[in-house]
C-alpha cells in the first residue's frame, strides 16, 4: 500500500516521538522542561556543539563536565590560560577546536558583552563556528528556525528521500530537503529530534526501521535501500609515516617538553621534542636530539593512526643532569606535569617509557 503521509505531517510525527524518546544529556533541556519555558544556557549549548564535532556523545560527556565545572561561564573561559584549556582538551582530538574555543569565548566577551548572539549570521562570524554549529546554537539555544545538517541529518534525509547521490556531492540537495521539513514551531526540539533519530533509530548500520516514526513516508524503506544509504565517495588510503621522539628526564624528575606550533597537526599542544614525521623512509628520521645525551631506544614503538596517515614512532629516552640546557623545549617539574595534558600519541610515548 502506497504511503499517504503528507510531508506537512512529518515534523509533528517526529516531535511526538521525541517527546517520549529524547536522549538525556548534561547540556540539554528535555522536551517537557522546555515546554514549561526552560531554555538551555547558550554557553553550554555552544560548548557541547564544539565538542561534539566529529566526536561521539559518550566521549564528550566527561570532557563537557570538566570544562563547565572548571569554567562555568564564557567569561571564566575567556579569562583562562591557553595552556590550561589545551591541557583540559587533550585526548579529545581536533585541537583547532580548542584554540578556536578560546578565541570564540574571548570574542563573545569583547564583542558581544559576554552574551552569545542569537543571530545566525553573527554566530557564523565567530571562530570555530561554521554552518552546522551556527544553526545548532541558534535553534537549540534560541529556538530560531534554522536547519542543522550534520552526519545524522544527511543520513536521515538520504534515506527518507531515497537519494543515491554520493556524499559530499549530495550535501546541497540534502540541505534543501532538510530545510523543507524544518518547522516554525519548536525548531530547537526538532533539530535535536532529527539528530536523535539518526543516532538511535536511523543508524548507519542495521537501522531500526520497524520502530521509526517516519517508517511510512520513508522512500528508502519502501525501496529496500536503507542499508546502502547514504552513498559515499571512496576515500583515499592512508600512507605510513615514521618519526622519532626524545623523552629526557632530568635528575630532579622533570621532563623535557615543548609546546607545538599553533598551526598544523596537534597545534598548540604539549609534546615531546623530535624529528619531523615523513612518509615511508628507508631509514627512520631521527633529527637532532634536543640535547646531547646517552640516548637509549625503547624496544617496541608507538603506533598511532591520525585522520590521514598512520604513524610509527621510535622512542628514545635519556637521564640528563640537573644543569642541562636543552636546545628545544623546557623542563616541566613532575608536580606541574599531568600525562593527561598530552595528546594521545604523546601519551602513548610516555607510557612506553614509564611502563
Q: By CB under 7 A, which span of 31-39, 106-114, 233-241, 323-331 interacts with DNA?
A: 233-241
We find the least distance from the C-beta atom of residue 76 to DNA, in angstroms, to be: 22
| 222 is an interface residue for DNA by CB under 7 A | no
Angle, helices 82-89/96-112, rounded to nearest 10 degrees: 130
**How do strand 278-279 and strand 296-297 relate by DSSP bridges?**
unpaired
- 252-to-13, 240, 290, 324 alpha-carbon distances in Å: 65, 37, 18, 11
Residue 176 Ramachandran class (φ > 0 left, ψ -120 to 50 alpha, else beta): alpha
Beta carbons of 247 and 350 less than 8 angstroms apart:
yes
49 labelled catalytic: yes
| 235 is an interface residue for DNA by CB under 7 A | yes
Count of residues touching DNA (by CB under 7 A): 57
Q: Report which DSSP code applies to 260.
A: P
| 49 is an interface residue for DNA by CB under 7 A | yes
| 199 is an interface residue for DNA by CB under 7 A | yes
Q: By CB under 7 A, which span of 68-76, 87-95, 111-119, 218-226 interacts with DNA?
A: 87-95
| 183 is an interface residue for DNA by CB under 7 A | no
CA triple 318-324-325, angle to 5 deg: 120
Q: By CB under 7 A, which span of 21-29, 173-181, 250-258, 318-326 interacts with DNA?
A: 21-29
| 176 is an interface residue for DNA by CB under 7 A | no
Beta carbons of 53 and 223 less than 8 angstroms apart:
no
Q: According to CB under 7 A, which one of 21, 39, 41, 96 is a site residue for DNA?
A: 96
Grid coordinates representing 216 are: 511510512
Cα 58 vs. chain centroid, distance in angstroms? 12
| 58 is an interface residue for DNA by CB under 7 A | yes
Q: By CB under 7 A, which span of 123-131, 180-188, 320-328, 330-338 interacts with DNA?
A: 123-131
Q: Report which DSSP code applies to 22.
A: P
Query: Which residues contact DNA (rule: CB under 7 A)?
Result: 23, 25, 28, 48-49, 52-59, 90-96, 100, 127-134, 136, 150-152, 155, 192, 195-196, 198-199, 204-205, 232, 235-237, 264-267, 304-308, 343-345
Residues annotated as part of the active site: 49
Amino acid at each position: 500500500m502506497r504511503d499517504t503521509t503528507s510531508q506537512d505531517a512529518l515534523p509533528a510525527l517526529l516531535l511526538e516521538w521525541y517527546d517520549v524518546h529524547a536522549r538525556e544529556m548534561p547540556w540539554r533541556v528535555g522536551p517537557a522542561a522546555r515546554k514549561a519555558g526552560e531554555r538551555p544556557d547558550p554557553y553550554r549549548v555552544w560548548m557541547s556543539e564544539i565538542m561534539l564535532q566529529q566526536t561521539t556523545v559518550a566521549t564528550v560527556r566527561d570532557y563537557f563536565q570538566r570544562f563547565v565545572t572548571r569554567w562555568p561561564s564564557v567569561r571564566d573561559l575567556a579569562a583562562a590560560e591557553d595552556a590550561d584549556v589545551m591541557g583540559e582538551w587533550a585526548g579529545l582530538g581536533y585541537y583547532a577546536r580548542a584554540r578556536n574555543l578560546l578565541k570564540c569565548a574571548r570574542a563573545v566577551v569583547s564583542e558581544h558583552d559576554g552574551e552569545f548572539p542569537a543571530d545566525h549570521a553573527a554566530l557564523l562570524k565567530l571562530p570555530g563556528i561554521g554552518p552546522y554549529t551556527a544553526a545548532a546554537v541558534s535553534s537549540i539555544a534560541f529556538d530560531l528556525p534554522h536547519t542543522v545538517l550534520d552526519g545524522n541529518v544527511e543520513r536521515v534525509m538520504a534515506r527518507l528521500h531515497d537519494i543515491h547521490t554520493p556524499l559530499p556531492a549530495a550535501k546541497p540537495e540534502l540541505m534543501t530537503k532538510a530545510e523543507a521539513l524544518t518547522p516554525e514551531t519548536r525548531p530547537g526540539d526538532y533539530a535535536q529530534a532529527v539528530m536523535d533519530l539518526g543516532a538511535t533509530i536511523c543508524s548507519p548500520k542495521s537501522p531500526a526501521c520497524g520502530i521509526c516514526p517516519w517508517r511510512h513516508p520513508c522512500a528508502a524503506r519502501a525501496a529496500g535501500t536503507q542499508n546502502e544509504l547514504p552513498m559515499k565517495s571512496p576515500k583515499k588510503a592512508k600512507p605510513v609515516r615514521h618519526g622519532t621522539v626524545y623523552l629526557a628526564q632530568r635528575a630532579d624528575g622533570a621532563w623535557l617538553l615543548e609546546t607545538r606550533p599553533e598551526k598544523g597537526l596537534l597545534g598548540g599542544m604539549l609534546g615531546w621534542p623530535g624529528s619531523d614525521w615523513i612518509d615511508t623512509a628507508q631509514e627512520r628520521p631521527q633529527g637532532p636530539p634536543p640535547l646531547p645525551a646517552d640516548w637509549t631506544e625503547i624496544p617496541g614503538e608507538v603506533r598511532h593512526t591520525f585522520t590521514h596517515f598512520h604513524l610509527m614512532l621510535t622512542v628514545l629516552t635519556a637521564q640528563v643532569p640537573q644543569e642541562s640546557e636543552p636546545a628545544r623545549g623546557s623542563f616541566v617539574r613532575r608536580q606541574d606535569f599531568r600525562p593527561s595534558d598530552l595528546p594521545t600519541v604523546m601519551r602513548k610515548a610516555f607510557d612506553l617509557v614509564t611502563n
